[in-house]
A and B are shown apart, each in its own frame.
Chain A
Amino acid sequence: MLRVDVTRQLGEFSLEAKFESQGRVTGLFGASGAGKTSLINMIAGLLRPDRGVIALDDEVLDDTSKGVHAPPHRRRIGYVFQDARLFPHLDVRQNLDYGRRMNRLAADPAQHKRITELLDVGHLLDRRPGQLSGGERQRVALGRALLSKPRLLLMDEPLGSLDEGRKEEILPYLVRLRDEGIPMVYVSHDAAELRQLATQIVMLKRGRVTALGGVTVLT
């Protein structure tokens, strides 16, 4: 369960969001500039709230009244960025392995095999990120986040930088991922995408939560 109750001032823009999510896939819906990315950056620990609480399951990650702030590397929250952000100096294999190495987890060949198959990246392992297409890059970024064994997966418009054809290519992988059961927060401004993926919706407008509920709130 994810509990968020935060405020943050960003220049002229103020973000004030409060929601609780039990859903497997929480869809964060809103137009660009609504504060979606700032909000998941706070969940990831990359941005500190001015005031408020963020808690995942029983663990408090941020509580400004008690001065609690867990840094991103201790949160075990995976993050798939819109622009993939693969490490250019590492090949795909090393990119996929990065989270496991940093967390000093034992090698898990079974999981590695399952995820490379699920995302269909087995044939790309020896390539450098510069030699991948946009869709391939995004799949590797997904695999990299998953292999760090996160408790929660944040996805910031993972299809945002792809054209229609590529979106159709990735979407089935995301549906498969959802059915794996790992909790996700999925950011999008595309209602159709969220109808396919999300089990719960948080609607954001100009820095405020305007609706909460099932996918029916998207109409």
Chain B
Amino acid sequence: MSEISPAEWTAILLSLRVAVIATLVATPFGIALAWLLARYDFWGKSILDAAVHLPLVLPPVVTGYLLLLTFGRRGLVGAWLADHLGIVFAFRWTGAALACGIMSFPLLVRPIRLSIEAIDRRLEQAASTLGAAPWQVFATVTLPLALPGILAGMVLGFAKAIGEFGATITFVSNIPGETQTISSAIYSLIQTPDGDTAAARLVLISIAIAMGALIASEWFARRATKRLHGN
């Protein structure tokens, strides 16, 4: 198999950038939401829970279209952001990151929520009797004990983000160098004559990234168990 072409490199690097930014920005929101779902009972909790999982079951093209309606240039939020903050999502790589972040959000939240639920709350009580204020308990007990789950969630979210296709192409199209990720590059290549070898290269690369992410996620999950047992 021949060398990776510059155009393919562009797609690979763009995918990495989009997935990394999407994961990093989504993580604090994911932790906050996981915390809320793990620890509190409130009115509308099951609706919120369902809404978080929605991108997992909706057709991606629907999510992409909803993003276009909301964050597009004439969208309710998109117009406001463009006018007031100068942030534009439509047909930009930032839009791809937004689409990937939303599509991967359920996969990010789930392991974090499970790891917060697994924490022995009596340890948090012990911390408070030692003088830790609630935010200190969170920072010194809850967060470190949930860390392996957070990392596992980030890895899974990243893997999902890097492979996202439907919502991204619907929302920000397939512009080489701007919004053409590995997935949309493969899509374009298999529709071009003689694109097969290049497509095959990108397919192998995405398989490798996905496998790597799954193995890393497994490894973090094992560390979590070890950490909770204090060895």
Residues of A within 8 A of B (CB): 44-46, 71-73, 75-79, 81, 83, 85-89, 98-99, 102-103, 128-131, 144-145, 148
Residues of B within 8 A of A (CB): 120, 122-123, 125-134, 136, 140-141, 144-145, 227-231
- Contact between B131 and A130, CB atoms less than 8 A apart: no
- Contact between B231 and A131, CB atoms less than 8 A apart: yes
Contact of B133 among A44, A73, A76, A77 (CB under 8 A): A73
- Contact between A89 and B227, CB atoms less than 8 A apart: yes
Contact of B127 among A77, A87, A88, A131 (CB under 8 A): A87
Give Cα A148–Cα B126 distance, bound, in whole angstroms. 12
- Contact between A99 and B231, CB atoms less than 8 A apart: no
Q: A88-B145, A89-B144 in contact; A72/B129 too (CB < 8 A)? A: yes
Q: A46-B125, A88-B229, A130-B230 in contact; A73/B145 too (CB < 8 A)? A: no
23 A–B contacts, CB within 8 A, in A order: A71-B128, A72-B128, A73-B128, A73-B129, A77-B129, A78-B130, A81-B122, A85-B120, A85-B126, A86-B230, A88-B227, A88-B230, A89-B145, A89-B230, A98-B130, A99-B130, A102-B127, A102-B131, A102-B136, A102-B140, A128-B231, A131-B230, A144-B130
Hey, which chain B residues are within 8 Å of A76, CB to CB?
A: 131
Hey, which chain B residues are within 8 Å of A79, CB to CB?
A: 126, 129
Give Cα A98–Cα B219 distance, bound, in whole angstroms. 29
Give Cα A75–Cα B131 distance, bound, in whole angstroms. 8
- Other than the known A81-B126, A85-B122, A87-B123, what 14 A-B pairs have Cβ atoms closer than 8 Å? A44-B129, A45-B128, A71-B128, A72-B128, A79-B126, A87-B127, A98-B140, A99-B131, A102-B131, A102-B133, A128-B230, A128-B231, A130-B230, A148-B131
